[in-house]
Structure formats: C-alpha cells, structure tokens
Amino acid sequence: MNGQNRNDIKPGLSVSIVLKQDQRTGKLTRGIVKDILTNSGTHPHGIKVRLADGQVGRVKEIHPS
C-alpha cells in the first residue's frame, strides 16, 4: 500500500516516510505513526504524519504488522 489515502493510516502503524530534507534523494525513514497531520482524505505525495520519535514526513510505504 502507498500512503496516499488517509483511511489506510492509523496511529501505531509501522510506516516509511520521506522527511522534508530527504525529498530530493528519496531516502526513507521507518517509524511508528503517532499523529496524522494531513486533514484531506487523500494527498498525491503521501499523507503527512508525525512519528513516535517526533519526525514529520509524508508516508511512502505502509508495512504489514
């Protein structure tokens, strides 16, 4: 699953995000969703989330539990 649909993302989910400073390289950071920051139902670049460690970025991959 990609991270473009808000309904697919819940707090506690394991995801890979791209941080703002990593958008050019596409480097992914893995973590656990703490908060969902995007209000709209979908976003073409991925739903913006805050991870449990405080990092903020857009979801690129959702990992199965």
Average pLDDT, rounded, for the chain: 96
Global model pTM greater than 0.85? yes
Give bridge partners of residue 15 from the DSSP assignment: 31, 62
- φ, ψ for residue 16, nearest 5 deg: -115, 130
Q: What is the pLDDT of residue 15?
A: 97
pLDDT single digits (tens) 34-64 = 999 999 999 999 999 999 999 999 999 999 8
d(CA 15, CA 34): 11
Is the separation of the CB atoms in 9 and 59 below 8 Å? yes
Strands (E), 1-65: 14-19, 28-36, 48-51, 56-62
pLDDT higher than 80, residue 65: no
